[in-house]
Amino acid sequence: MTVRICEVGPRDGLQNEPEELSPQRRAEFVDRLSGTGVAAVEVASFVNPSRVPRMAGAEEVCALAKPVDGVDHVALVLNERGYTRLADTRCVEARMAFCVTETFNRRNQGRDVEQSIAEAEAIVKAAHADGRRASATLAASFGCPFEGVVDPGRVLAIAERVAATGVDEIIFADTIGVGVPRQVTRLLTGAAGFGIPLGLHLHNTRNTGYANAIAGLEAGVSVLDSSVAGIGGCPFAPNATGNIATEDLVYLLEGQGVDTGIDLDELLSVSAWITEVLGRPLPGQLLRTGRFPRPAA
């Protein structure tokens, strides 16, 4: 069994951190991660820097980050303006994202869900015309900080419409970390008939992220998002803490016999580096405890 890991630390990881790293340091972060064997790195977010200051200078990050064979550089866009900016970079995939609930989508993106679906279709069309992949992340698929429990039927109805745009992949995001494995199974099995790869973007706010990743594997997930050292969160969602930690996830997957293609020791070195850069202990556990069994000296 194999699964594609998308490392989101340079984007989703840093966007909610108190430290503001320069584009040069963020590009270095991307380069270090690209050397670990991850399949993809989310390098930047093409959003309004006045709203998300940690993502200012996205174009510079993309220009400075070195291309690596076998590692896709992807970036987040929320609308067609964001895609226009991305189109002038080397990024091979546009990750369009919007929230499945009206309140959160209006607060996060200033538009209703219908408008976001229409923009998703336009972005998919533009990306494909440019020779890029396009994926769609459906935020708050497992619960909303403003509307509470989200009906999985609503999520699947939106996902079906997005699938009809010709998008290359749909990612169900547990943006505030409230999901449990039963929900994962319900969404992935419900969307299996759409005929496109499905992914999960998991946060570990309530300590269910890794259980949800295993449920996703059992349901045939194609891609898992994670963030080295467990950094991250959503600046527009109250109490949304970090993503599942990439090194912890890889340790778990290796123990389950899943091939990720990632060098865990290299990944741990990046985790140690970003911990030093940010200057405080971070949520990832494996860096604190070490591998088991420990590699031979």
The model's pLDDT over 2-52, given as tens digits with 9 standing for 90+, comes to 899 999 999 999 998 888 999 999 999 999 999 999 999 999 999 999 989
Q: How confident is the model at residue 293 (pLDDT cuts 50, 70, 90)?
A: confident
Query: ∠ at Cα 270 (285, 250), nearest 5°?
Result: 50
Q: Which amino acid is at 173?
A: A
N- to C-terminal Cα distance for the chain? 29
Beta bridge partners of 148: 144
Interval 218-238 mean pLDDT: 89
Query: ∠ at Cα 33 (48, 273), nearest 5°?
Result: 95
The model's pLDDT over 116-134, given as tens digits with 9 standing for 90+, comes to 999 999 999 999 999 999 9
pLDDT at 68 over 80: yes
Cβ atoms of residues 280 and 274 within 8 Å = no
pLDDT at 297 over 70: no
pLDDT at 260 over 90: yes
Interval 266-281 mean pLDDT: 97
Q: Which element (helix H / strand E) includes 262?
A: none
Which residue in 8, 2, 1 sits closest to 171, CA to CA?
A: 8
Active-site residue flag, 234: yes
pLDDT at 80 over 80: yes
Which distant-in-sequence residues (6+ apart) come within 8 Å of 285 by Cβ?
245, 248
Which residue in 126, 211, 165, 239 sits closest to 138, CA to CA?
A: 165
List the catalytic residue out of 6, 91, 144, 234: 234
For 95-151, give the DSSP string.
EEEEESSHHHHHHHHSS-HHHHHHHHHHHHHHHHHTT-EEEEEEETSS-BTTTBS--
Q: Which amino acid is at 63?
A: A
- Predicted confidence at residue 4, as pLDDT, reads 97
Question: Domains, the chain, ranges and CATH?
Answer: 4-289 (3.20.20.70)
Residue pointed to by tokens 């699938």 = 163
Residue pointed to by tokens 């959003």 = 47
Beta bridge partners of 201: 173, 225
Residue pointed to by tokens 């059992």 = 218
